[in-house]
Chain A
Amino acid sequence: MISPAAAYRNLLLFVLPALAVYLVFAVLPLATSIVMSFFQTSGASGRTFVGLANYERLFTHPTISARFWNALLNNIQYFAIHLIVEVPVGLLLAALLTSGKLARSEGIYRTLLFIPATLSVVIVGFVWRLIINPLWGLVGFPLLGTESTALTTISLMSVWQYFGIPMVFLYSALLAVPNELVEAAKIDGASGWTTFWKIKFPLIAPQFGLIAILTYIWTFNGFDLVFALNGSAPGPNYSTDILGTYFYRTFFGSSGQLADLDLGAAVATVIFLTVLLVTAAYFWLIQRRLKSYSV
Chain B
Amino acid sequence: MRSIHASIPLAMTLSAMFSSGIGMAYADPVTITLNSWRTEDIAVWQDTILPAFEAKHPDIKIEFAPINTNEYNAAIQSQVEGGAGGDLITCRPFDVNREWIKRGYFESLEGLPGLANFDKTSRAAWSGADDKTYCLPVAAVLAGFYYNADIFKELGLKVPTTSAEFIAVLEAIKKDGRYTPLAYGSAESWQLAYNGLYSIGPAYWKGEDGRLGLIDGKKKLTDPEFVDAIAAFAAWKPFLPAGQESLNYADMTQLFTLGKAAILPDGSWDINQATSTNLNVGVFGPPAPKAGDQRYLQEMPDMGIGINAKSAHKDAAKTFLDWVAGPEFQELYVNAAPGFFAMSSKPVTYKNKLAQDFADLKKGAELTPRLALDRLSAGTPPLDDETWRLLQVMFTKSDVTPQQVATELQAGLASWYGPQKK
Q: Point out residues on A near B: beta carbons under 8 Å.
A: 25-26, 28-30, 32-33, 36, 41-45, 47, 61-64, 129, 132-136, 140-147, 158, 162, 218-219, 221-225, 230-233, 235-238, 244, 247-248, 251-259, 261, 264-265, 268, 271-272
Cα A47 to Cα B103 in complex, Å, equals: 11
Q: Are B10 and A29 in touch, CB under 8 angstroms?
A: yes
Contact A140 B243 (CB under 8 A): yes
- CB neighbours (8 Å) of A146 from chain B are 245-246, 396
In contact, A145 and B245 (Cβ under 8 angstroms) = yes
Contacts A145-B245, A235-B389 given; does A218 touch B1 at CB 8 Å? yes
State in angstroms the CA–CA spacing of A224 and B3 once bound together: 9
A interface footprint on B234-259 (CB within 8 Å = 1, 0 otherwise)? 00000001111111100100010000
Nearest Cβ distance between residue B26 and chain A, in whole angstroms? 23
Bound complex: CA A28 to CA B47 (Å): 40
Interface size on B, residues (CB 8 A): 64
- Give the contacting residue for B6; candidates A30, A36, A41, A252; CB below 8 A: A30
Asked whether A44 lies within 8 Å of B243 as measured between CB atoms, the reply is no
On whether the beta carbons of B1 and A223 are closer than 8 Å, the reply is yes
> Would you call A258 and B96 a contact (CB within 8 A)?
yes
Tell me whether B380 and A259 are in contact (CB under 8 A). no
Q: Does B8 contact A (CB under 8 A)?
A: yes
CA distance A140 to B32 in the complex (A): 54
CB of B393 closer than 8 Å to a CB of A: yes
> In the complex the two chains form, is B385's CB within 8 Å of A29's CB?
no
Give me the 5 closest cross-chain CB pairs, A-B, nearest first.
A134-B243, A145-B245, A145-B246, A43-B103, A142-B246
Q: Tell me the nearest residue of chain B to A149, going by C-beta.
A: B246
Q: Is B9 an interface residue (CB 8 A)?
A: yes
A44 & B103 in contact (Cβ 8 Å cutoff)? yes
Q: Is the pair A45, B242 in contact by a Cβ cutoff of 8 Å?
A: no
Tell whether A253 pairs with B102 under 8 Å between CB atoms, given A25-B7, A25-B10. Answer: no
Q: Are A221 and B3 in contact (CB under 8 A)?
A: yes
CA distance A33 to B11 in the complex (A): 12
C-alpha gap A254/B385 in the complex (Å): 10
User: Is there an interface contact between B241 and A33, defined as CB atoms closer than 8 Å?
Assistant: no
| CB-defined contacts of B169 to chain A, threshold 8 Å | none
B327 contacts the other chain (Cβ, under 8 Å)? Answer: no
B392 contacts A236, CB within 8 Å?
Answer: yes
What is the chain B residue whose CB lies nearest that of A130?
B251
Q: Given the known A-B contacts A61-B380, A255-B69, are A236 and B103 also in contact in the complex, defined by CB atoms under 8 Å?
A: no
A235–B189 alpha-carbon span in the complex (Å): 8
Q: Are A221 and B380 in contact (CB under 8 A)?
A: no
| Residue in B closest to A249 when the chains form the complex, CB atoms | B385
Chain A residues, Cβ within 8 Å of B94: 256
Q: Which residues does chain A contribute within 8 Å of B378, judged by CB atoms? A: 258
Cα(A230)–Cα(B396), bound, Å: 15
Instruction: List residues of chain B with CB within 8 A of the CB of A162.
Output: 1
Q: For A45, what are the chain B residues with a Cβ–Cβ distance below 8 Å?
A: 103-104
Give Cα distance in the complex from A33 to B102, angstroms: 25
B363 at the A interface (CB under 8 A): no
Binding-face segment, B76-84, B216-224, B287-295: B76-84
Is B105 interfacial (CB-CB < 8 Å)? yes
Measured between alpha carbons, how far is A250 from B77 in the docked complex, in Å? 13
Q: Are A41 and B247 in contact (CB under 8 A)?
A: no
From 367 to 422 in chain B, residues with beta carbon under 8 angstroms from any chain A beta carbon are 373, 377-378, 380-382, 384-385, 388-389, 392-393, 396-397, 412, 415
A259-B104 CB under 8 A given contacts A135-B243, A219-B1: no
Please determine whether A36 and B9 come into contact, CB atoms closer than 8 angstroms. yes
B396 touches A44 (CB 8 A): no
CB–CB B396/A261 < 8 A:
no
Shortest Cβ distance from B100 into A: residue: A258
Find out whether the CB atom of A133 lies under 8 angstroms from the CB atom of B104: no
Contacts of B278 in A (CB 8 A): none
Q: Contact at B377–A256, with CB atoms within 8 Å?
A: yes
Interface string of B174-193 (1 = CB under 8 A from A): 00000000000111111000
Closest residue of chain A to B309 (Cβ to Cβ) is A44
**Across the interface, do A29 and B8 meet the contact criterion of CB distance under 8 Å?**
yes
Q: Which residue of B lies closest to A45 (CB)?
A: B104
Taking A134-B243, A237-B392 as contacts, is the C-beta distance between A44 and B81 under 8 angstroms?
A: yes
Min distance, Cβ A239 to any Cβ of chain B, angstroms: 10
A236 near B377: Cβ-Cβ < 8 Å? no
Q: Point out the residues of chain A lying under 8 angstroms from B188, CB to CB.
A: 231
B56 at the interface (CB under 8 A from A): no
A69 CA / B244 CA spacing, docked (Å): 29
Q: A32–B82 Cα gap in the complex (Å)?
A: 14
Query: When A221-B1, A247-B5 are in contact, do A256 and B384 touch as well, CB less than 8 Å?
Result: yes
Is B95 on the interface with A (CB-CB < 8 A)? yes
B10 x A28 contact (CB < 8 A):
yes
B99 interfacial by beta-carbon distance below 8 Å: yes
Q: A134-B242, A222-B1, A236-B245 are in contact. Are A257 and B73 (CB under 8 A)?
A: yes
Q: How far is the CB of B378 from chain A (nearest CB, A)?
A: 8
B247 touches A253 (CB 8 A): no
Q: Are the C-beta atoms of A237 and B393 separated by less than 8 Å?
A: yes
Known: A252-B74, A253-B73, A261-B78. A144 touches B246 (CB 8 A): yes
21 contacts between A and B (CB under 8 A): A25-B7, A33-B9, A36-B9, A41-B103, A42-B103, A44-B103, A44-B309, A133-B247, A135-B255, A145-B246, A147-B397, A221-B3, A224-B2, A231-B188, A233-B389, A236-B392, A238-B389, A248-B4, A253-B96, A255-B96, A257-B384
By a CB distance below 8 angstroms, the chain B residues around A224 are 1-2
Q: A265–B74 Cα gap in the complex (Å)? A: 12
Which residues of A have CB within 8 Å of B61? none
Q: Residue B71 at the A interface, CB < 8 A?
A: yes
Contact A235 B392 (CB under 8 A): yes
B1 touches A142 (CB 8 A): no
Contact of A223 with B4 at beta-carbon distance under 8 Å, contacts A28-B10, A29-B9, A255-B69 already known = yes
Given contacts A222-B1, A223-B1, A248-B4, contact A64 B96 (CB under 8 A): no
Chain A residues near B3: list those with CB within 8 A.
221
Say yes or no: A259-B396 contact (C-beta < 8 A), given A29-B10, A62-B415. no
